[in-house]
Amino acid sequence: MARLVERRTGPLFCLYRFAPLRLKLGVRYQPHRNYVSNDDIQTPAALAQQLVAHFAPAGRILEFCAGDGHILNCLPPGTTWCEIKRDRDFFA
């Protein structure tokens, strides 16, 4: 019975079970070829405060993906930061 359940819930079952519906709706298995992701996901300010309060970082700190600065604003003064969108590249 476990193998039957495993097969019915595995990735191949999920992929092929909905294949007719996907074809009917015109949904492809691959993303649209012209899709461009900016990969820019910001931590909400409230969550940033909770994270910094929980982990209480001390010493030398490097925020290597500062983004809009939500986490950086909660870190102690003097924290070193990098953000490629603001011309401070981590690898430079």
Q: pLDDT value at position 92?
A: 78
Q: pLDDT value at position 69?
A: 94
pTM over 0.75: no
Share of the chain above pLDDT 90, in %: 47
pLDDT tens digits along 43-79: 999 999 999 999 999 999 999 999 999 999 999 999 9
Rounded mean pLDDT, 23-35? 61
DSSP string, 16-84: HHTHHHHHHHT--SSPPTT-------PPPHHHHHHHHHHH---SS-EES--TTSHHHHHSPTT-EE-BG
